[in-house]
A and B are shown apart, each in its own frame.
Chain A
Amino acid sequence: MLSLFLDPLAYDFFLRALIAASLVGLVCAVVGTFMVLRGFAFMGDALSHAAFPGVVVAYLLHGPFYVGAAIASVITALAIGWVSRRGDLRSDTAIGVLFAGMFALGVFLLSLIPHYVGDLFGFLFGEVLGIGVGDLIALVLLTAGVLAVVAVLWKELLYSTFDPLGAAASGLPVEWLDYLFLALIALTIVVSLQSVGIIMVVAMLVTPAATAQMVTRSFGRLVATSVVIGALAPIVGLYLSFWLNTASGPTIVLVETSVFLIVLTLARLPSRASRALVESA
């Protein structure tokens, strides 16, 4: 029985994948909590898709993919922020236009490459088992950077998320914090691309916080709960994918989705029971 858990650890690639996916889950959960509270779920989806042309260009130039992904994603994030702040377009419209356009650009560039590029498809659906030592180091550094910024600006991000007008009036640089937060989302997505892929990153960002929201109404516990879910789900998911021989990214996401559905069901139960009581009384 124990060997079921220990055997996979004999493989270096599995160990690397465990560390990588767990870190990705953790940083996604932290940034995702602020995203969910700001109503930014769609933004997460948009920025991950927008990273794709950056990945393809990096591949064409033989550069590191995260640099390309970061540039494309951060530029898109700032462009969305700028367009929606100017007020010419609603922000969801701006997101819709830029997100599809950037992804199309990525697929277009991909189609220009004459030979088969399996590597790039890994970025669409995630290939955490393929993470190398260099990738892992970059991932650790980027994760540490994002978490450090959130830790330093914790209360400023909280205040400007909760009450941007009150925060700005008290002198917090709210506009600057908004742009910074968009950049943090973009970097978090870059960190996550290899593990879960462009299409499913949004689940890593949103699902843990959405799950945690059902069990607590305190901000500290909300973040703590989503971090626990975010860091543990990839471990469970990776073992499942190893045993079942399934794709790792989708398996991780499905673990998070299952936890969400279970908590949703449990959270509904007491209220249904109390409603039944009220109706029978």
Chain B
Amino acid sequence: MVIAAPTTTVAVRVLGVSAGYDHRAALEDVDLELPPGSLVAVFGPNGGGKTTLLKLIAGLLRPWSGSIEVLGQPAGQAARRIAYVPQAEQVDWSFPVSVWDVAMMGRYARLGAWRRPGPADAAAVSAALARVGMLDTRASQIGALSGGQRRRAFLARAIAAEPDLYLLDEPVTGVDLTTQEDLMALLQEETARGRTVIATTHDLAAAAEHFSTVVAINRRIIAVGPSELILDSELLSRTYGGHMLVLGDRAVIMDDAHHHDVASGHEQHYHEGAGERR
């Protein structure tokens, strides 16, 4: 069953948004408009607000000021049409769940409290696992997986949710090249069907090669445009500031690949209360 989504000309519209944690600002005065079907890489230095931007769009964090519209509704209202995949390092890999269990979680929100997963859900999960190449590994506990398989399992969860908007935090960080190619091919298929993908990344080469749109961010939006923008060393230097060295014609970014975004222990979850109880 496909239920017609409200027609929108933008997938995500962020207007004048400032946000942060406690009293520290992570983003200031952000404006951003992304059309449906975009394949967007968000890049910038650690602490530059990449994850914060993703959480704002996901409705996991309430902005201090400004407005956010996602899939034609205020942020947080269209939750069932959104799939969010957190950074790998935020996941407890010793948790006693299998690949299948994780992918099935993508179906939970649409099921509601009283219903158990049925044959349609099992079929959707099987199809999602087949697409990421994890059907044979479905019974494995997630801690037994390689880095690439872990990202595949979480992408299967997102696909199983059949979302209109994918929000992926570092989906290709620390994965092997084959996995990176496979995952990007999948995301390109999804955007070809009109779904929107927004991913944060540290990997500028991957961003330049695989994404159609890039957003350079360092507390503010530095630039939004086609992925060729990444080749602009002047833009890179504005984005990364002191974290970048220019060596001849090559820019070297002095930034480690780990997550240092400001403390995120107490986001405001504000889906509830607004008629969103399902």
Contact present for A156 and B108 (CB under 8 Å): yes
Asked if B272 CB lies within 8 Å of chain A CBs, one says yes
Of A18-26, A126-134, A162-170, A198-206, the stretch lying at the interface with chain B is A162-170
Contact present for A168 and B269 (CB under 8 Å): yes
- Which residue of the partner chain, among B79, B157, B267, contacts A171 with CB atoms under 8 Å? B79
Cα distance, A116 to B167, chains bound together (Å): 63
How many residues on B have C-beta within 8 angstroms of the other chain's C-beta atoms? 44
Q: Of residues B90, B108, B277, which shows the largest number of chain A Cβ atoms within 10 Å of its Cβ?
A: B108
Interface positions, chain B 100-137, Cβ under 8 Å from A, are: 101-102, 105-106, 108-109, 111, 113-114, 116-117
- Which residue of the partner chain, among B86, B101, B157, B277, contacts A219 with CB atoms under 8 Å? B101
Cβ of B99 to closest chain A Cβ, rounded Å: 12
Are A163 and B105 CB-contacts (below 8 A) given A85-B266, A171-B278?
Answer: yes
Q: Find chain B residues with CB under 8 A from A86 CB.
A: 266
Asked if B60 CB lies within 8 Å of chain A CBs, one says yes
Asked if B276 CB lies within 8 Å of chain A CBs, one says yes
Asked if A189 CB lies within 8 Å of chain B CBs, one says no
Contact present for A166 and B105 (CB under 8 Å): yes
**What secondary structure prevails in chain A residues at the interface with B?**
helix
Asked if A175 CB lies within 8 Å of chain B CBs, one says yes
Cβ of B52 to closest chain A Cβ, rounded Å: 13
Asked if B80 CB lies within 8 Å of chain A CBs, one says yes
Contact present for B111 and A155 (CB under 8 Å): yes
Cβ of A124 to closest chain B Cβ, rounded Å: 34
Interface positions, chain B 176-212, Cβ under 8 Å from A, are: none
Contact present for A166 and B85 (CB under 8 Å): yes
Asked if B30 CB lies within 8 Å of chain A CBs, one says no
Interface residues of B (CB under 8 A from A): 22, 55, 58-60, 79-80, 82-86, 90-92, 95-98, 101-102, 105-106, 108-109, 111, 113-114, 116-117, 141, 143, 157, 161, 167, 265-267, 269, 271-272, 276-278
Taking A162-B97, A167-B105, A172-B108 as known contacts, 20 extra A-B pairs with beta carbons closer than 8 A to each other, sorted by chain A number, are A37-B95, A84-B266, A87-B22, A153-B113, A155-B111, A155-B116, A156-B108, A156-B113, A159-B105, A162-B92, A163-B86, A165-B84, A166-B85, A168-B60, A169-B83, A170-B79, A170-B161, A173-B269, A176-B272, A219-B101
Interface residues of A (CB under 8 A from B): 37, 84-87, 152-153, 155-156, 158-159, 162-163, 165-176, 213, 216-219, 222
